[in-house]
Structure 1
Amino acid sequence: MRQVPTYALYGEKSSNQPMDWLHCESIPARSSRFNWEIAAHRHANLFQILNMTRGRADCLIGEVWRPLKPPVAVLVMPGVVHGFRFSPDTDGHVLTLLADQALQFPGLAPQLRPLLAQSRIIELPADSSPAVAQAVHAVVSDYAGSGISRVGMIEAQLTVLLITLGRVLAADADALSPNRHAAAFRALLDQHYREQRSVAFYARKLGISEVHLNRVCRASLGHSALGVINQRLLVEARRDLTFTLLSVKEVAYSLGFQDPAYFTRFFTKQAGITPTEFRRRSVRNEPTIQ
């Protein structure tokens, strides 16, 4: 696949924006400016929920285009290539959250989090779509408003939204089996990513073959197993470069790279920008889009 751009957290700077970990906008607000087509791209540390209530669309998740028929929701995890082609009559909203925040709401049951931590299309049944639409509308309304405790209301409605989507997924027995392996892989990766473990190591830990692990990752996470490992390293590298005073060399060593020069090549290939330039732009609050 040709190189796909990686976009940082977007959102207009506005006094109405209630927090820096959430952005809300309607599908037409952005898509209409680009002839209703959002080209293939990815986000390094963002979790997105698209709720489409009207129109037609094709959705790219990973390497596969799929049709969307409302009512439908789409979950997009960090690092997963995605894109959309909407019909001009499409309506709905996109909620963008920092990935570290997205599934951490206290009211979200632990057993639902692995189901929601996958990039996927969720066809909404008739008994669930009104609740999803209502929760999305409430989040968007408070995001743009100035009511008392609007942040608390937004968190509550996001919890309702995620629980509703999680219940839809939990009711789909076919969704459970492959995603157990994907969720288990991500959990192992969170434990060992600084150790530079191989795909074979994770496959052995999961009790499956490397081929099967790659198949699971492509189906559920939109990347090969190695791609998921690289994206996890990239997310942590970006975080360290942005929020710590560690030198580039120290960041490299902390992530298990024996050669800082190799880390620089790795980061540049994955992010499209050198670690030093990424840090410079972050400090100056300049766009890091590549």
Structure 2
Amino acid sequence: MTKVNIDEWIPNIVLGQDYDRRYVDSPVHYDVLENLAVFFGRDMPVHRHAQYLQIHYIDRGEIHFQIDDKIYHITGPALILTPPSFPHSFLSIPEACGHVLTIHQSIIWQLLKDGLQQPLSSELEHEWCLNQKNLSDDDLLNWTLIVQTLEAIGREWNHDFPAKNLTLQTLVRLLLIQVTRLSTKKAISRCINNDDLQYFRKFSNLIQECFKAHWQLGAYASSLGISESRLHQVCQRIADQSPKKIVHDRLVQEAKRLLTFTNLSSSEICYQLGFSDPAYFSRFFKRNTGVTTQNYRQQFS
């Protein structure tokens, strides 16, 4: 994969604006892989979809897929999930075909509010790839349901049936539940308070805006209008992590992206992420990843 220039940001693609303006405000976008390949090309460079989760179902053919620092070389049938804002690129052979579904994260939040089990929803927060040949007999039954749901979404998308938008969102919610069931087996029901969910959502948005400023947890809590202890309780209940760990994970994720997709030096990344001391940044990165920035970059150069 070719690294972007030092001053070049990873482009954000909004399919409703950049590809099909008929659906500029739609929280869901569907198309077959073949159509997108004609428009964007089979060799899709590094890009991201801010606030949109994406599901690629490869029915047949080979595809090379990179999400953040993960590289997959797969042959369909296969399913790939890319969380919102994660940089990714892919190269598919001309014979590769399948479905591409792009979903606004508000649909995921609504699912969680309506009672989606937390272990299931957490599967939508990181990238993963499943190949049909590696599934058990029970999972193959669920896989068949996923394919049928994708085909139903395609039919709704391409026709003006009554209640089209409602049907599409209902099918997409069903699909999200189906695909998460394939990646987790022991989902334990957990009661989630709606206020906690709202605070966690606002905290996540604040992290996205302010993580480079290295706010103290007290500043996050004050901005949310709650105490630090309440913030800690919210994060433990929703994400099973401390708020400090969530903020640090966001910094590490951004550092990994810059190491993987740019030519910035470790010191330049240090200052770009708001650290004042390159040596401290190096220790921070190694403490959270187990490897140095140099070794990490060498793995994916």
Fold shared, TM-score > 0.5 on shorter chain: yes
- Residue identity opposite 1:48 in structure 2: Q
RMSD (Å), alpha carbons = 3.9
CA contact (8 A) 1:46 1:96 kept: yes
CA contact (8 A) 1:76 1:118 kept: yes
Out of 17, 21, 37, the residue aligned to residue 13 of structure 1 is 21
CA change 1:135–1:108 in 2 (3 A) is farther
Task: Using the TM superposition, give the Cα deviation of residue 65 of structure 1 relative to its aligned residue in structure 2, in angstroms.
Answer: 2.1
Separation in structure 2 between the aligned mates of residue 209 and residue 89 of structure 1, nearest angstrom: 46
- Residue identity opposite 1:30 in structure 2: L
- With normalisation by structure 1, the TM-score equals 0.59
CA change 1:200–1:121 in 2 (3 A) is farther
Query: Which structure is larger by alpha-carbon Rg, 1 or 2?
Result: 2
Q: Which runs of 5+ in 1 are unaligned?
A: 174-185, 231-264, 267-290
CA contact (8 A) 1:26 1:93 kept: yes
Out of 118, 124, 149, the residue aligned to residue 126 of structure 2 is 118
Alignment of 1:67 with 2:73, yes or no, is: yes
CA change 1:20–1:74 in 2 (3 A) is same
Alignment of 1:89 with 2:95, yes or no, is: yes
- Aligned counterpart, 1:224: 252
CA contact (8 A) 2:83 2:127 kept: yes
Separation in structure 2 between the aligned mates of residue 20 and residue 102 of structure 1, nearest angstrom: 15
Task: Using the TM superposition, give the Cα deviation of residue 159 of structure 1 relative to its aligned residue in structure 2, in angstroms.
Answer: 1.9
Separation in structure 1 between the aligned mates of residue 109 and residue 242 of structure 2, nearest angstrom: 27
- Aligned counterpart, 2:196: none
Q: What whole-Å deviation, never above 9, does each CA across 1:57-109 have from its counterpart, x for those lacking one?
A: 11001033211232221111222110111111111111112222345234744
Separation in structure 2 between the aligned mates of residue 209 and residue 104 of structure 1, nearest angstrom: 25
Separation in structure 2 between the aligned mates of residue 22 and residue 43 of structure 1, nearest angstrom: 12
- Aligned counterpart, 2:166: 152
- Residue identity opposite 1:168 in structure 2: L
Separation in structure 1 between the aligned mates of residue 40 and residue 164 of structure 2, nearest angstrom: 32
Task: Using the TM superposition, give the Cα deviation of residue 208 of structure 1 relative to its aligned residue in structure 2, in angstroms.
Answer: 11
Separation in structure 2 between the aligned mates of residue 6 and residue 131 of structure 1, nearest angstrom: 34
- With normalisation by structure 2, the TM-score equals 0.57
Q: Which runs of 5+ in 2 are unaligned?
A: 188-199, 218-231, 233-239, 259-271, 274-301
Secondary structure (helix, strand or coil) at the match of 1:104 reads helix
Task: Using the TM superposition, give the Cα deviation of residue 167 of structure 1 relative to its aligned residue in structure 2, in angstroms.
Answer: 0.8
CA change 1:29–1:213 in 2 (3 A) is same
After TM superposition, the structure 1 stretch with the greater mean CA deviation from structure 2, 70-79 or 99-108, is: 99-108
CA contact (8 A) 2:46 2:89 kept: yes
Q: What whole-Å deviation, never above 9, does each CA across 1:214-252 have from its counterpart, x for those lacking one?
A: 7xx5xxx8x824559x9xxxxxxxxxxxxxxxxxxxxxx
Alignment of 1:72-221 (within 5 A): 72-105=78-111, 106=114, 108-124=116-132, 125=135, 126-171=140-185, 189-190=203-204, 193=207, 196=211, 198=214, 206=241, 217=249
Separation in structure 2 between the aligned mates of residue 122 and residue 74 of structure 1, nearest angstrom: 7
CA contact (8 A) 2:83 2:124 kept: no
Secondary structure (helix, strand or coil) at the match of 1:79 reads coil
CA change 1:146–1:112 in 2 (3 A) is same
CA contact (8 A) 1:18 1:151 kept: no
- Residue identity opposite 1:154 in structure 2: L
CA change 1:103–1:142 in 2 (3 A) is farther
Separation in structure 1 between the aligned mates of residue 33 and residue 177 of structure 2, nearest angstrom: 23
Separation in structure 2 between the aligned mates of residue 97 and residue 165 of structure 1, nearest angstrom: 13
Alignment of 1:30 with 2:36, yes or no, is: yes
Separation in structure 2 between the aligned mates of residue 34 and residue 190 of structure 1, nearest angstrom: 31
